[in-house]
Amino acid sequence: MEDNLQCKGSPSSKSSRTQPAPGVLSQLQNDKAYRWRVTQTFLLSLSYFTLGIILGQQGPSFLDLQIITGTDVETASSFFTAASFGYMVGSFISGFVHGKVKNNVIMVIINVGAGVMAIITPHCSPFVLMLIIRFSTNMFCGGIDTIVNAEHIRIWGSDGQPLLQFIHFTYALGGVLTPLFTEPFLAEKETGNSTSRTYGEPTIFMNSTSQWKQENTSNITWLATNGTMLVKARTTNVHYAFIISGFIAILTSFPFIYLSFIEKSTEQNSVEKYTQKVHSRKLPKHLTVLLIFAISFFYLVYCSVEDTFASFLMTFVVTEYDEVSKSKGAYITTFYWASLAVGRFLSIFVSKYVIAVKLISLYTFLMVIAFSCFTISAFFAQIDAITVFAGMAGISMSAVFAAGFSWTESELLKVTGWVSSFILIGSSTGMMINPLIIGYLMEEVSNMWFCYVLLLQTFVVCSIFLFLLLFNRCYLNKVYGKVGDSRNLEIIVETPLQETDTFLESDLKTLEQFSSISLTT
């Protein structure tokens, strides 16, 4: 029987690879371990779909959370900071428990937790309580993000790039649906006739010489006198939208509850059955730390752009342009999410033919073009052009996140639970700082700083990527060798010998013993 550890490129390994690979349908039908891996990927996609719904709701509901808490844009931007800090804490905790606690149990906890926190969110009118609830919600969301990416890499390795793009496509799909079911429950935009911008507690206008007439609409109470409309109090029904998203998140946990009680040994069998790649490149600790820091900083700046754009897009267009209503702003946001989803769907197929590093090169270049054109369109108040280039921004950011994980696994270093955790901690740090900067500049200087800051950060993303690419290929690859080169080992678990093979092997040993005895005689 051949040795189980075979060098990649050895004759026996080569001969095994020349055999035609079974089709996907055949594997699904006959291979239990393959079915398990596909099932796990599908369930991870469902969790990422839920993540897209919960995070995608934070942008369209931002103005209504201001109404609930009685805050302005600058003050309410701290909601995003608290949420990002929670995301960072959740990523750190998930990276610590990954591999120590059963994955299905973790997924139940974080999906249910995210759903419950989402339902509670619109009922937290005190400012401090809203900060706490946003921290808690995104702590569970950070756990979902970390576990899904780490688990996918663990199950498929660097061979799962198209499936990783599919998982991130489901995230964008959730972001597409969120503005659609959130928009009907949003409060109406304040009109130019309003003389009060008070949020939260009702403001009552009294005049002893005038007769006031009170008129109630779906979510705003108006006071009218002599044709003048004045706001008395602003309310919102956005809590219904949060109930929908929370219910979806809780529903997502049901398959993981089921799987945590069955198929206890299937996951281990699936890991043993398939080829595992052992990375041969060993880097000094200081270079490993430098790589992790640079990758985390890349994601810090990139996620600052992606998340801030999605979160503040509706606020920017509604507050900057009088002709843009909340409904119009919600549909511009939906168009952005739809473009992101379409881009990620196409990336599933593109990534089969284009390696991850080329995908990142292409899409970061598109990011620079998209945000440059978006800034120019915003400066000249071209709403249609803003909508188009918001969609282009979505397409340009569609493949970067997943391709970054695949590129890290294939060319830089192995993506473990801890590495995934550090990457998402870096992402959360950017998401924590950026809203404070942009919220302050939009409130105190000009709304246009939303565009200026994001455009500058897209150039920084490209610069960090170029540094990582050149540092790896011009130094690390030459000094320490490549990741995934011919020196890597493949652990191949072979099928047991058939009964006839055992018989022939025992006969061969008997003949060898007989011939040796005869020769000695």
In this predicted structure, which of 55-59, 209-213, 346-350, 515-519 has the lowest mean pLDDT? 209-213
What is the 8-class DSSP label of residue 101? B
How many whole angstroms separate alpha carbon 486 and alpha carbon 60?
A: 50
**Would the pLDDT of 198 be above 60?**
no
Q: What is the average pLDDT across 237-258?
A: 88
Pick the more confident residue, 224 or 37: 37
Partners of 491 in beta bridges: 5, 276
Quick one: tokens of 139?
């702590």
Positive or negative, the CA dihedral 183, 306, 395, 345 is negative
Partners of 300 in beta bridges: none
**Would the pLDDT of 408 be above 70?**
yes
**Would the pLDDT of 249 be above 80?**
yes
How many whole angstroms separate alpha carbon 130 and alpha carbon 33?
A: 45
Indicate the pTM of the whole model: 0.63
Q: What is the average pLDDT across 266-284?
A: 53
- Distances from the Cα of 216 to the Cα of 57, 220, 231, 235, angstroms: 27, 7, 11, 11
Give the pLDDT band (50/70/90) at residue 273.
Answer: very low
Q: What is the average pLDDT across 107-127?
A: 89
Q: What is the pLDDT of residue 256?
A: 86
Quick one: tokens of 309?
């754009």
Q: What is the average pLDDT across 132-152?
A: 86
Partners of 224 in beta bridges: 213, 229
**Would the pLDDT of 127 be above 50?**
yes
Pick the more confident residue, 455 or 263: 455
> Nearest to residue 177, comparing CAs of 315, 337, 391?
337
Give the pLDDT band (50/70/90) at residue 415.
Answer: confident
**Would the pLDDT of 510 be above 70?**
no
Secondary structure in 3-state letters for 253-276: HHHHHHHCCCCCCHHHHHHHHCCE
Residue 338 has, within 13 A of its CA and on its CB side, a CA count of: 13
Q: What is the average pLDDT across 381-395?
A: 91
